[in-house]
Amino acid sequence: MKKVKVVLFGLGAMGSLIASHALKRRGLEVVGAVDIAKEKIGKDIGEVLALDEDTGVVVEDNVDALFRRVEADLAILSTVSYLKPAYKQISKCVSAGINVVSTCEELCYPYRKYPDLSSKIDKLAKKYDVTVLGTGINPGYLMDVLPIMLTAPCIEVHRVKVERVMYSGNRRNSYQKKIGTGLPIEVFKQMIDDNRITGHVGLYESICMIAASLGWNLDEIVELPPDPVVSDKESKTTYTNVKLGHAAGLQSVAYGVKEGEKVITLIFLSHANVNAPHDSVSIDGTPNIRQRIEGGIHGDLGTVAMVLNSIPKVIEARAGLQTMLDISIPSASGPF
């Protein structure tokens, strides 16, 4: 079987974890790596990932030069959450004839928020006969694809509610940082207001995806500002120590309104003191469906898997901007 030649675009916390698993997959061949972080440029990815040996692939910052030099089938883009900064990176890959699978949250379902940019990406991808997909654990699976799949045996659906309750103390540092772990409450609020921390990104896109799948035309999508979860104890995480009264993490809520009624509600609770993590979906319809994953799913490993398992589906997908609603269902398929 022909290996898929992959470029790793972004070797931060998530990109590095994806990279370490991509290097082990027999169906993939890593042919290049790009990052702008000064401490990584010029180093073998084996060194960047703290592996026992070098891989022969060196991190570079000039993506154009890389694409002129190497032949690649697909770029794994793991750099930013927002579509505007990701657009330039996506265009470079697409214009070089390279498919894209990205963890960029806003790419997962960009049509409502960014109709023009979505159309530009779609046209460019069709022009170069490649596919662009945004995916991950959330958005990309737990709060959109999974509830969508659960509606399949329903005759009708009235409301969808999804809750992700996640222990965050063992997630990657960049994640714990963006949910404000350890910050004094006033600092948390100020940093959210100043966009110095983003909180969770993607509830809006998940709501769009669910609504599109159910054929619901929403009047509006409301995203409430993230609320800090005040720690009721001293907690130690892999990132920091959380003091009593400081932020242990956050809660984010978003909902979609149809004909004046909240029909989709997403609740995302992620902090260092969660002791009963779970992912649950509640569908009111015919029949009602209640589903709960005890323990929840580890977001970082889940994202690695979603990205890698989507690659064969993206390679076989139609050209253009695609979402998880368009590609065939990914599964944990080999060759590993």
Ligand X SMILES: NC(=O)c1ccc[n+]([C@@H]2O[C@H](COP(=O)([O-])OP(=O)(O)OC[C@H]3O[C@@H](n4cnc5c(N)ncnc54)[C@H](OP(=O)(O)O)[C@@H]3O)[C@@H](O)[C@H]2O)c1
Are 59 and 48 in contact by the 8 Å Cβ rule? The answer is yes
Shortest distance in whole angstroms from residue 111 CB to ligand X: 17
Beta strands (DSSP E) in 198-334 are 220-223, 227-230, 235-236, 241-242, 247-258, 261-271, 278-286, 289-294, 320-322
Beta strands 235-236 and 227-230 are: unpaired
Residue nearest to ligand X (CB): 12
Cβ closest to ligand X, residue 157 vs residue 204:
204
Size of the site for ligand X (CB under 6 A): 26
Q: Which residues are CB-contacts of 118 (< 8 A; sequence separation ≥ 6)?
A: 110, 111, 321
Are 74 and 5 in contact by the 8 Å Cβ rule? The answer is yes
Which of 36, 41, 253, 319 contacts ligand X by CB under 6 A? 36
Which of 7, 8, 15, 280 contacts ligand X by CB under 6 A? 15
4-9 sheet: strands from edge to edge = 59-60, 28-34, 4-9, 74-77, 99-102, 131-134, 320-322
Site string for ligand X, 204-233 (x = CB under 6 A): ------------------------------
Binders in 99-138 for ligand X, by CB under 6 A: 103, 105, 136-138
Which of 27, 46, 140, 180 contacts ligand X by CB under 6 A? 140
Cβ closest to ligand X, residue 61 vs residue 227:
61
Q: Is 181 in the site for ligand X (CB under 6 A)?
A: no
Cβ closest to ligand X, residue 174 vs residue 190:
174
- Classify residue 246 as left (phi > 0), alpha (psi -120 to 50) or beta: beta
Residues that bind ligand X (CB under 6 A): 10-15, 34-37, 78-81, 89, 103, 105, 136-140, 172, 174, 202, 303
